Amino acid sequence: MTGPATERELILRREVPFPRTLVWKAMTEPEHVNRWWGPNGFRNEASTMDFRVGGAWDFALVAPDGSRHPNHSVFKEITPPSRLVFDHGDGERMWFEMTVTLEETARGTLITLRQLYPTREARDEVVNKYGAKEGGEQHLAKLEAYLVHGTVNDELDLKFERVVDVSPERVFKAWTTPKHLMPWFCPKPYRTIECEIDLKPGGKFFVQMADPEGNKLPAMPGCYLEIIPDRKLVWTSALGAGYRPHDPASAPRFFTAVLTFEPHGDGGCRYTATALHATRAHAAAHEKMGFTQGWGKALEQLVEYSKTTHMD
């Protein structure tokens, strides 16, 4: 290897609101790691793992176009549940040395991935040509999504993530207080004209939207499933208040929303929204309706509202 280590490394970090032992389990047990490993759209197949120092981990990383990319790693250091080191390549050559560290924090676990390449040129090539930084960030986001709701399914789930310069506390308040939700919830020129929130598991979540002409859009009450103040909301359109199931014939499709609000930087928030669906057709229809664009626009309106409104 040539050149100082700082010129040959790529470092990625992400703090997740889960205990270190759980993160370690998700990163080192095949039945878990194979369900989230890789950038968006990729999946693992034909995986075998001999989890010991000197043991090998082999798998095929399958790209969205169906192409298969062999991966081969050899474990060099295993220190549960805080540190993991392995050489990673394709079986013919070593691409980089990966060091994974898990540090306990006040709100969970800080994950650090350090990839050390043989040369600065090798590092720069994977960053600039293959998007290693963006892929690594997607990789960690998929890990957190798996920890949040136990699965990652690119065919059934719609997801987007943004970093905004508004605190998680203000984002949470904007999501959970009717008078603060109504001004931003749907992309303009559509409006929210009614909102009911009973903020407890099993409680009612109802929003009535109207088009620019004032016509009410179809709406059904949803149900809160999980609430972690200032950090997480989970609700579903498949149930009404008190966990009462809706008649499947009453709506074309249902989904469950998982929202997480992580502290980021100096007073900011990493905002992640995931919509879980029962079928690929439902997910595709939701995306066609404008999930990414619509929820992204609504978030922009939330940020603008929270910056210009006294929310105490």
Q: What are phi and psi of 203, to 5 degrees?
A: -80, 160
Mean pLDDT score of the chain: 90
pTM, 2 dp = 0.57
- Whichever domain contains 230, its CATH number is 3.30.530.20
142 and 10 fall within a common domain = yes
Q: What is the mean pLDDT of residues 109-126?
A: 94
Q: How far apart are CA 283 and CA 176, in angstroms?
A: 25
Q: How far apart are CA 289 and CA 20, in angstroms?
A: 38
138 and 165 fall within a common domain = no
166 and 253 fall within a common domain = yes
Q: How far apart are CA 273 and CA 292, in angstroms?
A: 10
198 and 298 fall within a common domain = yes
Q: How far apart are CA 33 and CA 223, in angstroms?
A: 31
143 and 176 fall within a common domain = no
188 and 260 fall within a common domain = yes
Q: Last residue of a domain, which of 114, 149, 184?
A: 149
Domain count, the chain: 2
Please write the tens of the pLDDT for every residue from 222-256. 999 999 899 889 999 999 999 999 998 877 679 99
What is the DSSP secondary-structure string of 143-161? Answer: HHHHHHHS---TTTEEEEE
Structure token pair of residue 302: 């939330």
Q: How far apart are CA 245 and CA 239, in angstroms?
A: 4
Work out whether the CA dihedral 122, 123, 127, 130 comes out positive or negative. positive
87 and 164 fall within a common domain = no
191 and 304 fall within a common domain = yes
pLDDT for residue 153: 61
131 and 183 fall within a common domain = no
59 and 94 fall within a common domain = yes
Confidence of residue 155 (pLDDT cuts 50, 70, 90): confident
Q: Is the pLDDT of residue 49 over 60?
A: yes
- Structural contact between residues 14 and 25, judged by C-beta atoms closer than 8 angstroms: no
pLDDT for residue 32: 83
259 and 191 fall within a common domain = yes
Q: Last residue of a domain, which of 100, 117, 149?
A: 149
Residue type, 311: M
Q: What is the mean pLDDT of residues 102-128?
A: 93
- Structural contact between residues 152 and 146, judged by C-beta atoms closer than 8 angstroms: yes
Q: Last residue of a domain, which of 149, 174, 196?
A: 149
Structure token pair of residue 234: 């989970």
- Tell me the residue range of the domain where 236 lies: 157-308
179 and 286 fall within a common domain = yes
Structure token pair of residue 191: 């409006």
Lowest mean pLDDT among 53-67, 80-94, 243-257: 243-257
